[in-house]
Structure 1
């Protein structure tokens, strides 16, 4: 696995029961996964020679991020290394311009968009629709709110162009809420879909995920799952695919969805599956990249809520565990071994049960206590 973050850490954990030998290319020995994986190579994923040396002897290569240069992945594939997802699929998660063009080609519903060349072009794009504000995104490199700007005039539109990469303009969508449809697809074409979830964002970062999305009609839930499965097939995705969605009201006032983003790896919106699904996203990603039969994605409980633990003023961790575990014996805590920085994802908690209000309160309390923003 290329990338030493928490996604690699949890994917490695999912492979342990299967006796899978796991090799990691990590930036530093302190990275989340590097702390727990036995075979770690420290190196730069942007260097082709490093990637080639790392991939030697591997049965398959997969990723915990989308940042490996596409041309390097094509070179490894030409060397005979199985890449899953392959470079021709992964580029749609690496480059938002390529993603939008492909989604348009397959008829997937998207916000109005186009590549813009400068602030004056942004103004023209705004005039073609409902005017400002509009959303600007660098086509590569953005995540967790980074590389994304809400601009209210052409004067505010200069900063995105400073990065020296193409800029994508999108209409600002008036959405009801954000959803995510997570699916997994294997090389032999088997695919499974998890329940569609609601993803609640705070300052551009995922804060809470509710599975399944409350009050989502069976029709729209099925449409979102089918859309994600179709995207996975059309793009030939191998492994886990998260399709981030906006729930909107169409011209007739009926609920509908638009595709916001794609991620071709285990995803924050799927962390609930560790404790709330029969087979987690991590276990199914492992199965998919090894072309094993996929596991059952159905939920174990009526409701599961995942809450991210963000860096803050941490109390003593042992004392925090004592409180959280004593207060809620069913609570599941997943910490990543990362240095604490304000706003940084350092862990998450999962709660589950039959009463949604109770499940949400337990998750919010535990995440807040671990962060230090709740003290009782």
Structure 2
């Protein structure tokens, strides 16, 4: 088999969706997968089964490869430093990825930079949480995602489960926000940046349910502020690849940083069908230090709706039904077994009428969820 150009750590749907632009760019991916039939391993021929927490497995997949990138942010920093010392280039690097891995480190660094964030503090006891004030959001500093590791605390007893977890925690103010936004940029090692339109992210049970690009009725000045903030964070933290800055748009017209993701992100899936260059292609271009592609939208509106596991258990059998009902919908299935609430795919519809685009995307996704 021909030598790979880059290694991708993690075999989820993000790595799977890197494969198609990699083919177009003539890039060969070697994958470190959690199992032989995980989402990305189904489409990447050069796959190695291993554990991202085991340095020997990382070294094996990186052998002969200059660039290493990621489907997730969970590789231990000391392993990333070891790969770098051995002549590989983790992108983003361990110095940047730390701020996506650890919310405490992220909050400290963004506060130092003067980036607008919710009020926050480290907490280790019920007394700390009470001193911070109610209501609050208590989060694990590491490992939480899609609503996991997050507790809304309105009185001391609400913090018991969080404190019993025995892991480092931070408390943040419960922000009075109008909606959630996401600002994405791609950044090359030399500093070239491509900005995507700021989008609205709509949540259900702590999980991203749908994304509208661009965010409807967003004040142009606030959109520029959010995009410039994402570019500044990428530059200050020396991010290479895609960066998603998840934001709260507050009721009084500000933006506050909620989370960072240093990889392709759910809020950018619309770009596969709705932008000149998808987030996956620009991630590959960035980490391989190739000129970035245009992030310009192809239509007035793009709507992405996640397909979350529901009563439809045979997605392949149901696919013709969804495509017949909404033939202009773009359906992306991840090759995953259906489990309740699990992200098993997404649907994107683009067009000039937001109401029609939103209705069609929701209809196609619903047919793949509950028939």
Deviation at 1:18, TM superposition (A): 1.2
1:70 alignment counterpart: 77
Among candidates 175, 178, 185, match of residue 177 of structure 2: 175
CA contact (8 A) 1:330 1:351 kept: yes
1:193 corresponds to: 195
Which whole-Å CA distance do the structure 2 matches of 1:273 and 1:356 have between them? 16
What is the CA–CA distance in structure 1 between the aligned matches of 2:199 and 2:110, rounded to whole Å? Answer: 21
- Structure 2 unmatched runs, 5+: 1-7
On the 8 A contact 1:180/1:244 being kept in 2, the answer is yes
Kept in 1, the 8 Å contact 2:66–2:87? The answer is: no
- Residue 14 of structure 1 and its aligned partner are, at CA, apart by 1.4
Q: Spell out structure 1 runs of 4+ moving beyond 4 A.
A: none
**Cα separation, 2, equivalents of 1:319 and 1:42:** 29
Q: Which moved more, 1:24-33 or 1:150-159?
A: 150-159
Equivalent residue, structure 1, for 2:323: 325
1:307 corresponds to which residue?
305
Structure 1: stretches of 5+ with no match in the other structure: 127-131
Q: Is the 8 A contact 1:139 1:166 kept in 2?
A: yes
Partners of 1:210 and 1:42 lie apart in 2 by 36
**If the length of structure 1 is used for normalisation, what is the TM-score?**
0.95
Residue matched to 2:35: 28
Match of 2:363 in 1: 365
- Offset of 1:280 from its aligned partner? 0.1
Aligned to 1:162: 164
> In structure 1, what is the Cα distance between the partners aligned to 2:223 and 2:316?
41
Give the secondary structure class of the aligned counterpart of 1:309. Answer: strand
Aligned to 2:3: none
Q: Which residue of 2 aligns with 1:129?
A: none
Change (3 A) 1:315 1:138: closer
Quote the offset at 1:75 in angstroms.
1.4
Residue of structure 1 equivalent to 2:283: 285
Number of corresponding residues = 364
Matched residue SS, 1:287: helix
Contact 2:313–2:338 (8 Å) recurs in 1? no
Instruction: Map residues 232-243 of structure 1 onto 2, 5 A cutoff.
Output: 232-243=234-245
* 1:214 partnered with 2:247: no
- CA deviation map 1:320-358 (0-9, x unaligned): 222222222211000000011000000000001111000
Find the aligned partners of 1:316 and 1:61 in 2 and give their Cα distance.
35
Task: Show the 5 A alignment for 1:7-86.
Answer: 7-86=14-93
Distance in 1, matches of 2:239 and 2:326, equals 39
Alignment RMSD: 1.0
1:186-209: CA deviations, max 9, x gaps?
A: 011100110000000000000000
Question: Does the 8 A contact of 2:197 with 2:213 survive in 1?
Answer: yes
Deviation at 1:318, TM superposition (A): 4.5
Residues 203-231 of structure 1 deviation map (CA, whole Å, 9 limit, x = unaligned): 00000000000000110000000000000
Q: Distance in 2 between matches of 1:77 and 1:316?
A: 43
Query: Could you tell me how far 1:164 is from its partner in structure 2?
Result: 2.6
- For the residue of structure 2 that corresponds to 1:61, the secondary structure is strand
State the alpha-carbon separation in 2 of the partners of residues 84 and 165 from structure 1.
Answer: 28
The alpha carbon displacement at 1:79 in A equals 1.4
1:247 aligns with one of 242, 246, 249: 249
Cα distance, 1:316 vs structure 2: 4.5
How far residue 249 of structure 1 moved from its aligned partner, in angstroms, is: 3.3
Tell me if the contact between 1:118 and 1:158 (Cα under 8 Å) persists in the aligned partners: no
Q: Distance in 2 between matches of 1:287 and 1:319?
A: 35
Secondary structure in 2 aligned to 1:158? helix
For residues 88-144 of structure 1, what are the alpha-carbon distances to aligned partners after superposition, in whole Å with 9 as ceiling and x for unaligned?
000000000000001001110000001111111101111xxxxx2210000000000
